[in-house]
Structure 1
Amino acid sequence: MKYTTEVTVDLPRDEFIKKLDDPENMKHWQKGLVGYEQLSVKPGLEGAQMSLTYKMGKRDLQMVETIIKRNLPEELHTIYDAKGVHNIQKNYFHEVDGQTKWVSECEFQFSGLGMKVMGFLMPGAFKKQSLTYMQDFKAFAEKGISVLDT
C-alpha cells in the first residue's frame, strides 16, 4: 500500500528541520509515544536506529526506526519495522515563500494474515494517522501546541 501526504508549515525550512530533527520534540506531536531509545552510537546518521514505544488504546506498539537517507534540509528517508509491518517513509522538505512544504511518501508492506487483512480493509486509517502526525507537528512547530496538553 502506497500513499502521499503533505502539509505546509509556516516556518522557514531551517527552523522546521531543527524542530523535526530533535527526538525530544517527538512526544509533542506523536500522540501515544511513550518513549524512545537510541540504539546507535551515532544517532541521526544514515544507518542509525532508534527504538520507539507507543501506547495505542489498550495495546503497546514497539517499532525500530532506521535512517536510510539523510540529506537535510531537503530530504530524510526512514524505515519503520514493527510486528507484521514494514513502512518505508520518504520525506521531502521544500521551502516556499518562507514556509516549509513537507511531502511524505509512505509505503507499507504487511506480513502475517492479520496485518494483511487490516491493510486491505482499512487503508484509509494508515493515511489518516500519517496526516494526523503531520498536522500535529504543524501545530507544535507553529504555535507550540503539544499533544501532551490534550
Structure 2
Amino acid sequence: MSMPLGGVQVGSYESYAQAQAAVDHLSDQKFPVENVTIIGSDLRQVERVLGRMTWGRAMGAGAASGAWWGLFVGLLLGIFAVTGTAWIGSILTGLLIGLVFGAVFGALGYAVTRGQRDFTSTSQVVASHYDVLCEAGHAERARELLARFALRG
C-alpha cells in the first residue's frame, strides 16, 4: 500500500473488532496510534431481512417515529408554558399530533411503494478482512507489540 492509504501493513484481521482490539492494544502500550490506519478490503453490502412489511407495521413505525417528534416539539413548546398543566398539555398535544401525522405519513409511504418492497431490513457494509497499517518509521515497533498481543490472545 502507498503512504496516502496509511503506510505499511503491520497486521491483518478477519473482523473489525479484532483490528480495533489490536489498535487499542497499541494505544495501551503507549504506541503513537495517530500513525495507524485500519483499512477494510473487499467490501460487500449485507442486507438482513427482518420481516414482512404490512399496513399495520408501516403505520405503527410511522406513528412511533411521529410520536418521538411530537414529544420533542411538545417539550420545546412546554418551555413557554406558564403552569404545570399547560406544560403537560403541550407535551400530550405534541405527542398525539405527532402520532397521528406519523401514522398517516407511514401509510402514505407504504402506499407509494405499491408492493415493490414488502419487507423490512437493515443493511450494512462489511469487509472480508481488515488491515492495520502504520507509517514506515513506526512499523517495526507496531509489529513487535502486535506479535505479543497475538500470543496473549
Alignment TM-score, normalising by the size of structure 1: 0.27
Larger-gyration structure (1/2):
2
Which structure is richer in relative contact order (CA contacts within 8 A, separation 6 or more)? 2
Greater per-residue helix proportion: 2
The two structures have a TM-score, normalised by structure 2, of 0.27
